Each structure stands twice: as C-alpha cells, then as structure tokens.
Chains A and B, each alone.
Chain A
C-alpha cells in the first residue's frame, strides 16, 4: 500500500499539490523503487517534503521531512535526508531538538529488527512469517483464557487513534491493557494536581504568557514535558513580556545555568521554600487569591532566617523571590524533575500547585484544558501490580510494545525471572532490547517514517504521522499488526490496513476536506471544552494534615540521578550522533562519567578522568570523574541513561520513584580512565570569546593605538552573508549541532577518534565558568572572517574568500597541509584523518547536495552554502535579490529560541545587520583584526535582573 493509492482512497487525485512542494508527486512516483536508467549520474532533483510527527520522545513535535531522490546501490529511490520542525506548529513551532534531528539514525539503524522472529524449541530465535507468529499468538491467547489466566498489553505511551485501536484490540482479544510505562512518569505532579484540583493530569504550562517564571527542579529545556516548546515559549515571553526566569535546583543542570538566575538549594528543602513563599506572600497579602484559612493554617510557618538556614538560600535572595512574585502580573511556577522525583517530591508538587493557584493561576499560564496527554501513563505502582500478578503466575500472554522495562526497571534480573511465569511473551519493538531478548515472539515495528498514524501530544492537538519511505525491511506498524491479528482470529480473508482504519476515524471525526487540510499542515487543533481548575479544599486539607516534612537535608554524600538531554531516559542512546555531540554541561561525548563538585574534588584531590567507585546498597559502580563547577559539595550526579538507581524508595502515594541515592560512599580507585572531554579548558580568562568586562578591558590601549590595517578591506557587491548569535536566547540545547551534522554529512568518528581530539563538528557549544557563579556559553563556528588568516596560507587556493564574504573550502582542490587549521584562531576547521564514512545503511541519509569528504582534506562550515545556492538560483530565475529571511542555515532553522539569525550584512535593513549593529553586539577575538562575519550578543547579566 503506497502513498499514491492511499491518497486516491482519500479521494484526492495525486495531481493536487498535497504539500507545499513542487517535487511531491514526482516523489510519489518514486516511492516504488525501480532499476535506474543509464544516465545515473543525474539524479539530484528537487527534494520532496512531507509532514509527520517525531516519535523520538513523548513530546511528539511536528516534523517536516526532506526527502531526496538519489541512487542507492544502483536503485533510484527517495530517502528522508533531513528532519525539520513544522513552522507554526502549536507544539514546536519550526524547531526540533537534537534527538529529533538525529532520529534519522534510528530509521536507518543497522541494528533494527528486520523480520518477525519466534523462539524455537531450544530457545533460539528463528525467523518466522507474520502469519505463523499471529497464529501462535491467537492460540496462546485462547489457551491462556482457557486456563483462566489474564493476558496483558504493556506498552509505552500511546496516544491518538492508536490508543483507541489498542482498546478495540484488547476488548476483541480479551486482553487487559495496562497503564503505560514511561520512566519520566511525572507521577507526583499528576498526584499533586489530583489532590489540589481533582485533576490527575499534567497541565500545559503556557510559559509564553508568564512575566516571571520560577522553575523548581524542572529541566524545562532538557527533557521535562516538551523542552523544545518550553524553550521556544521562554524566548517568546522574554520578547513579549520581558520575562525573568529563576531556577531553583539541588544539583546543577543545563536549564539551571541558562536561567537568568539560578539558586542552589539544599536537598529536599524546596518544600520549605515554597511553604515560606506561600506564607510570606499571604502575610504581605500580595497573593492574587488568598488561600482558605483551613489550608493556610496547615502550611508550616518559619521565620526567614530558619528558611535561609534550611534551604541554603541567602535572605536577600529569598526577599528577591518574594518581591518577584509580588510584582509579577502573571507569575508561573513549574516544579518537576529532580525536585519532584524525591521523597517529599509530592509535597513539593502540592505546594507548587498551591502557589500556582494562589499567585493567580489562570488558564493562560497553567492550562488544564489542553493538559499534556499523560492520562494513560502509569507509575511505578502499576509496575509493581504487574510484578505481583506475574509473581502469582496469573499472566498468560504478555504483550510488550515499544518499551523496555528490563533495562529501565530496578532489579531487572527479578523482572526477567517474573516474566518467565507467563505462557507467552510477545514483543513489538524496533530494536533487540534486553526486554525483547526475553520474549518468545518478536514482531518488528516500522519506524514512524515508514508508517501511517497520528499522535495527540496534548488535548486539542492531533499530529499526522505519514511515511516518507517504504518500509525498508519486513516490518509493520503496530496498528497493522493489531488489526491483522484480529482479522486472522476472526478468519477474515484480508485484514483492514491501519491507514484505512485511520481514514475512517479521521473522516468520521473531521470530514474529508478537513482531513486533507490536516495532512497538509501535519497537525490539527481541535476545540476542547473549557473546564477551569478549582481548588479542592478537602483534598488539600486532607493531604496537608498528614503530609510529612520529615526528610531533612544532610551533609552526607548523595547521588542525584538526572535526566540526560542527549539520551532522554536512555532510549536515544542508540542514535550514534547522540554520543558524538558533547553533553552541553560537561562537553563529554562518549562513555559514562560521574559529576563531582569542584569543591569536593579539590578536597579529595580528584581530577577529571580519575576513576572513583560508588558504593550504593551493596553494588559498586565505577565511573571516571568529571569535575563540575556550581555543583554543591557532597552531591554527585550521574545521568539517568547511565545507571538505574537500584532500589530507591518509591512514594507509595503517587508511585513516583526517588532520584536521590542516599548513604553512598565514593572513593578513588587510583585508576585513570581516558575520557573524551571536548573542552580543553572551562576558563575563558578574558580572551575575547565572551564580551570583555567593562571594569578591566583587556585592550585598554586600543584608543591610544589607532587600529591599523596594512591593506584596504575588499569589496562585496550584493551580499555579505553574516550571522548574529544571541547568547541570551541560546539555551545550549545543541540542536543546531545535530542539525549541522545531518545537513552537511558530517562524519561520526567514534570514541577513539574523540580521545585523539579528532571530532568533526563544524559548530560547537563552548561552556565557560564565570567566577564560579555561572556558566556562560558561546557558540563557535566558522566566523567567515573577511581577513581570514586561514586563506592566504593555503598553497593551492583550496580555501579562498568568495565575493559574498564566505570563507569557502574547495574540497577537491585541498591537498591537506593543515596550515589553514593551524592558523585559524577559532580552530573551527576539521581535517579528515581517515575515510570517515557512515556505515551502511546509515549512508542512505547523506544529503546529496553536500559532498562526502574523503581522507586527507580539510572541511569547515560554509553557512550551508548549498542552501544559499538554491535561494540564489530561485532569486535569479525571478531576477531579484535574495530577500531577508528567505534562506537560513540548518543550525538557525532548528533553533527553538531563534538565537541564530542568518542573513545579508550588505542589506542594512536585514534582521542580521540590525542585530550586528546593535550596541550589544561584539565579535569573537575581535582584536585580531580578522573581521568576522559572525556577531555575538552576550548573555544579559543577571545583575540587571535584580
């Protein structure tokens, strides 16, 4: 069933431009592969664009797929080569995070399961047919029911039509559908909202409407709910209502250092802070809604000094917070992440909710009507229930779909054992995860870029999932599988295809026309009944009565588990690009590490790469040390994808697990582990990469020395391409880096190369510790200097300066002297030490418009010259100049906060020139007189905030 026929079914002639692209119907023709005609060298046509949805994480951003037509193994076909956010999409508005950018690596991953498999007598997997597999399943289901056992359907988060289908399936086949399993279940938030508002949901936080944002532990720009959207909205709020954003956290996170102000708070003491805020605000009656007495009297009341002592925040900071809340028109507080995933995380969440309500929560900041679609997601309690029923051998057939409990659950071995107590274990998965290893039948799933479907990230939004490429292997979508099983059971000749099922649903829901519109846009916003959240006095009172403020913060070492921006909960680890791109906070690429406070490190005499052994309840885990500034003493951090906290307490009330591992001991093993830390030093010491500080200007003699040039600057005619990077908007999410890798066919060089300092990134994020208070970033890429030191030294003119101010690199002219790279003060040139090629079938994703570099040549950023070329050709056809905003580079395109502005500096009215000439602007290492075309706007000092 290919697109064309499907569109016919929709009643649309394939002629109509479905998606705003000229190439689309050509592309449709090409979906069926055919052997190529003789002239195989001409194949770069215009790319085709499809709208679909990113399924890399539960956020479900809207994606526009760029599919290029090219010849692969002598077969001409179209291949998705780039993913970009759909502009104006209610979730991500054009942007995409690094994981989304990299998800093509999942589509073409060589380790995908390529055909259905079944375990034979001697316990080995053997390839089987779908029919056979289905038959076995049907038989076993019947048998199990016969034995009076319960069949269970255990899956990852499922939304949209698929959710409904699953219910149908479960009803049809008499299977229990279990609450879905997500590591980041946010159970405490749901529970808290249930207590305070009788709404067991996670609201949609409308940050864009806030003028003051207080995030408590919630890593809003990393993994919390939808980081892309949050980042995007924070920027909107900054522009619209000059948002000031404070972050409170017990450890240190990228989100924290990106906030305009960050407070390190003692472990577990968030609840005291929130309580204090509530009390003091109500006392100075600056609350928008005053809490009912029966509640407020239950809120502990401490003097500011006590709170200061408990939380570790200075008194003036506390006052600052108070005044912020008091003066803010639409304040917003978001608790989550490490602050709610802990012993008294529920209390924290409840107080946060109360504070939201009391400080005038309205639907335009905390929106329950468009709540995030987490209703069907269960918690650890549900998992425990499953384990119990497995213990009591009550389970017959266990379906495990799109989730990997064995990897993510505590006591994995135990769960594996329990699983054995079932008749049959059916896995629906794309990879051979540890869970799949334990199953009897493996049903390979198609990637969402190979399948039809839809998703509902939150109430009121329906995202389209449509294929951009034929399934590459004998895989099927979950929908098809369920339908086929049902059909085979009912003995129907041929099963309905999931996409027919979808059409029926869509038609019945929206009607035909609207369906087409949805396909064009890639999403549909549907009205939802408004139902304001009302404070539930009883629930809250009841909770507060026996709420425990028991857990005191202690000075013993504590291991804090943090989510990873690169791997999410670990699911994105399979994407090689996620290990290739440095972790923004530590600049580590490959391998694991433990973050140690610089103070602790100094005390213990540890340095980066020293190995330490962490003893936690019997287990001993070894990690190399990474010294982490800003991290409070005695707090150690390991990312969630590296270890699972063995047996950390689970809150019996909510089912949230704690991410703090207590009574651990950490000792050096004396070993020294090579670890690829990309950053040579975290200290910038006024070298001119960050803006020079007013008080001690390093180039004070500038004025007494007229800036001299030995020769006149050269001419630009129509264009001088330039860039302005606003480091105040930048949130360090590294999406730009990923975008650059995919757009420009950058090599994945691997750990060994990284240890030898041979990474290939053209654009990198450089963290600088500023006097131990904060970490400032700069984004380093080729500065396209007008007087580029790299150019004149090339003996063969392999690099030279284009009339448009681009510092171009002629790959096939380069002989590889590496002189240019030596002479580049920004060190942004990259040399091909070997033939770094993506192994098959990853090479399918190569962008045909950018040459793949061979060994022995230099490469570098050229402002996505291929995109410039396209725009200029277009402009030339319409004989006009390229308009401002007509082109943008891959990095700028995907930036959630539009921190990167690309354009023509010759055009005085272009956005980039305006920014470049704003009085904030500075250029990196300006005193070298290289005349860069990249202008930076520094991060606004938090002083201005206070």
Chain B
C-alpha cells in the first residue's frame, strides 16, 4: 500500500472519532457534568459551614481530600511517563497512548490542583500560599513541603500543557484540513498557521526533545515532593526515606492503570483496534507489572525494617496497619496493587484486553486505598495514645471525591470529541520507518 494512501486512511480513521457524537456520549457527558456540579456545591457548603462538615478530627487532620490529591497527581504521572520517558527511551509503543495519556495528565493535574484548596480551613485565603509582595512584608515558608507542592504542581501543569500542545500542533493542522466553517477557524488559530515547513520541523524536533528531557526529571520530582508532604513529618508510617521513589513508582503504576481504564473503552468505541493493538497493550501491561513490583518491594521493605530494630512506634504502627481498624482496606489494597498484577507474568493474561481492564480497575481502587491507608492510619494512632482517634469520610467528602471524577471524565469526554486521540503525525513517521 502506498504510504500516501495509508496516511489518508489513517487520518480518516483517527478523525472519525471527531464525528457527530452518539446520544450515549451526551448521556455520559451530562452525568459527569452533574457530578462535577454537585461536587462544587458541596465545596461551597463546606466553605460556608467550616471544615467540620468533613469527617476530619483531632488526630486525623488529613483524609479523603489529601488522598484524592495524591491520587490524581499520581494519575497524571503516567501521561508524562508515556509521552516523555518512553520518548527518550525510543520505545515504539508509546504513540498508541501518548496523546490520550498527555490529555489525561493535564486534566488530572487540574483536578488534583483543586484538592489542596478544598482541604484548606480558610480556602478564601489560598493565595497566601503563593509568594507575592504584600504590605504584611510576609513571604511564604520555603521550608514547608506544602510550598514545594505549590511550585511542583504548578510547574508540572504548565510543562505538561506545553508538552501536550506542542505535540498537538501538527495534528491540529491536519484537523484544520478536514474541518469546515467555524470549526475550521478555531483549528486554524490553534494550529498557529502550521505549514510543516523545514524550518518548523527543524525547531519542533529540538523543542520536543528538550521538553521530554525536562518533563522526565520533573515528573519524578513532582511525586517525590508529594511524598515528602508525608516523609518530612516525623509521624511513624510517614517518615521514611524510601517514600520518594516508592511514591513515584506508585504514581506511574496508578497512572498506567488509569490509561488502560481510559483507552480500552476509547479504542472500542472509536474502532481504533487497527492503531492500538494487543502488542501495545502487552507493553503497557508490562509497565504495570514492573511498577507494581517496585511498589510491592517498598511494602516489603517498609514492613521488614519496621520490625528490624526496636523501633517501638514503627512496629506498633505497622501492626496497626495490618490488623487495626483499617485492615480491610489494607488487604484490598495489597490484593489490587501487589497480588493481582503478578498474574500479568502470564503472557495470555497480559494479552487479554478484558482481563487488563479488570486489573486496571483494581489498580485504581488499590492505589486510592494505598494513599488513604498511609495517610489515615499514620495519623489515627501516632505517639500519644491519649490522642488516638478514628476517621471516616463524611458525605461531603465522598461527594466532592465523586465530583472530582466527574470533572476529570467530563474534560476527557470533551477532549475525545475535539482533538485527535492519537498522534497522527507520529504514527505516520513511525509507519514511514518500516
């Protein structure tokens, strides 16, 4: 088949996704939007009444909100992993996923970014977290991990956005070619008047490499910073050196899980089986397995060393995690994060889309629970037994959490209808190589 025809075909296949949406699409979109709105109104209610509407209490100052924050940041990470790290490693299978993964990153960071604000006691002063000249003569405390968060997350958002958009420009130019009327105008504007001239490609390639090169250490730093929100404190179960790499791996793990969760239905609905093949899935499954092993390794090390010396508090804490009030969550987490992924050693299972989808769901749940367990159990029982107490999420917290899912999927649904879900240009380039 002549490459030019192949390319035309390819463009049609991918852009088919942008055609008129089915009723089901609208249903899904509306459901997500409603969830999103509910979440927002609950947040407003919380602002007016006070943090008391959450289940948080004296020992347990952080709960569902911070869990959600870490969870969404984690989701974001695989996007960068797939687009940047795999790009640097010249791993071929990335271009089946990178576009949607990058979109996922952007939306996930947006979602995550809300939670630090939601969990503030006085949200209306959130801007105090940013360093700006003020007549109080006060700056922010750069020693505080939360300030590191502010910088890490905002940097991460900016860079991911740029990275995503850069990759999009040539593809938008393609859509421009197909679009008509008003939409054509919009696409023209966002294509920045891309021509595909030598000069453009020349700088474009460099930029892409540089952005990838920046994104890679960035993604690692971001989740390290997130992990340090906990590791910097002295609470048993939080204060441990392995946290940074452990959280990074966990993040990529959960993110990869989410990629699968998103791409499997997308592939089915938009009939992209030709472009997103089983082999691609096998690769992504291997990533899942690999990161799962790292996470498991961290679990084992954490546990082992807790009982290694006479570290009374650590030992007490991990016993509590294992057998205490939250043990059920912990065991579910272990199943989803450590046991189930092991089955991916079996090639047949690796290559079964349905099975992968199921595993990915468990991974999402497991990773959410992991953060929850780490955050809550450590706070619930720390040094002073008198101050021990339990936490359980309130309706408001659950509502806002669901709202965040609504927000994320709403954006994703909009994305799949307005932008090419695969990197057409890269697939062309890839095809030309063979």
Contact = CB atoms under 8 A, between A and B. Distances in A.
Contact of B313 (A587, A687, A701, A816): A687
Contacts of B379: 822
A822 B312 contact: no
B274 interface: no
Nearest to B121: A816
Given A789-B234, A856-B50, A830 B58 contact: yes
B151 to A, nearest CB: 11
B182 interface: no
A39 B122 CA distance: 30
Interface in B41-59: 49-52, 55-59
Interface string B296-315: 00000000000001101100
Contact of B147 (A680, A795, A813, A832): A795
B143 interface: yes
Given A792-B141, A813-B138, A827 B120 contact: no
B351 to A, nearest CB: 45
A817 B146 contact: yes
A835 B50 contact: yes
Contacts of A857: 121-122
Contacts of A510: none
A727 to B, nearest CB: 14
Given A789-B233, A834-B50, A835-B50, A827 B385 contact: no
Interface in B369-423: 379, 381-390
Given A757-B57, A818-B61, A856 B51 contact: yes
Interface string B109-146: 00000000001111101101100000000101101111
A516 interface: no
Interface in A805-850: 813-819, 821-823, 825-827, 830-835
B29 interface: no
A793 B233 contact: yes
Among B52, B62, B125: residue with most chain A CB under 10 A: B52
Interface residues of B, number: 50
Task: Tell me if B's interface is mostly helix, strand, loop or mixed.
Answer: loop
A280 to B, nearest CB: 43
A536 to B, nearest CB: 52
Interface size range of chain A in the complex: 35 or more
Interface in A839-874: 855-858
A795 B229 CA distance: 11
Interface stretch (A21-29, A438-446, A758-766): A758-766
A629 to B, nearest CB: 14
A675 to B, nearest CB: 14
A303 interface: no
Contacts of B310: 698, 701
A758 B52 contact: yes
Nearest to A790: B233
A546 interface: no
Interface string B210-227: 000000000000000000
A816 B388 contact: no
Contacts of B309: 701
A321 interface: no
Contact of A680 (B56, B150, B233, B387): B387
Given A687-B313, A825-B383, A680 B389 contact: yes
B115 to A, nearest CB: 12
A814 B57 contact: no
Interface string A745-776: 00000000100111100001010000000000
Given A789-B234, A856-B121, A821 B61 contact: yes
A692 to B, nearest CB: 11
A823 B234 contact: yes
A796 B140 contact: yes
B387 A827 contact: yes
A875 interface: no
B325 to A, nearest CB: 11
A614 interface: no
A818 B121 contact: yes
Contacts of B383: 687-688, 825-827, 925, 928
B235 interface: yes
Interface in A669-683: 678-683
Q: Which of A686, A701, A757, A858 gathers the greatest number of chain B CB atoms within 10 Å?
A: A757
Interface string B301-335: 00000000110110000000000000000000000
A684 B385 contact: yes
Interface of A (DSSP majority class): loop
Given A817-B146, A834-B49, A757 B59 contact: yes
A823 to B, nearest CB: 4
A794 interface: yes
A827 B233 CA distance: 13
A797 B50 contact: no
A689 interface: yes
Nearest to B310: A698
Interface string B237-267: 0000000000000000000000000000000
Nearest to A687: B383
B240 to A, nearest CB: 15
Contacts of B122: 814-816, 855-857
B150 A678 contact: no
Contacts of A792: 141, 143-144, 232
A502 interface: no
Given A819-B144, A856-B121, A689 B384 contact: yes
B379 to A, nearest CB: 6
Contacts of B387: 680, 826-827
Contacts of A794: 141, 144
A855 B123 CA distance: 11
Given A698-B312, A758-B57, A822-B233, A780 B120 contact: no
B313 A833 contact: no
Contacts of B59: 680, 757, 827
B120 A817 contact: yes
Nearest to A582: B386
Given A822-B62, A823-B233, A855-B51, A796 B312 contact: no
Contacts of B50: 832-835, 855-856
Given A698-B312, A796-B138, A856 B385 contact: no
B299 to A, nearest CB: 22
B121 A796 contact: no
A499 B198 CA distance: 105
B388 A680 contact: yes
A701 B150 CA distance: 40
B144 A757 contact: no
Nearest to A749: B52
A470 to B, nearest CB: 36
Given A681-B386, A832-B121, A686 B312 contact: yes
A688 B388 CA distance: 16
A825 B384 contact: yes
A680 B391 CA distance: 13
A758 B384 contact: no
Contacts of B52: 753, 756, 758, 833-834, 855
Contacts of A780: 384, 386
A139 to B, nearest CB: 56
Nearest to A682: B385
Contacts of A688: 383
B141 A816 contact: no
17 contacts: A680-B59, A680-B388, A680-B389, A780-B384, A780-B386, A793-B233, A794-B141, A795-B128, A795-B150, A813-B128, A815-B120, A819-B144, A821-B61, A825-B383, A827-B387, A831-B51, A856-B122
Identify the 4 closest CB pairs spanning chains A and B, nearest first. Answer: A816-B121, A680-B388, A856-B121, A833-B52
Given A757-B57, A816-B121, A856-B121, 7 more contacts: A684-B385, A792-B144, A795-B140, A797-B141, A815-B129, A819-B145, A831-B58
Interface of A: 587, 678-689, 698, 701, 753, 756-759, 764, 766, 780, 789, 792-797, 813-819, 821-823, 825-827, 830-835, 855-858, 925, 928
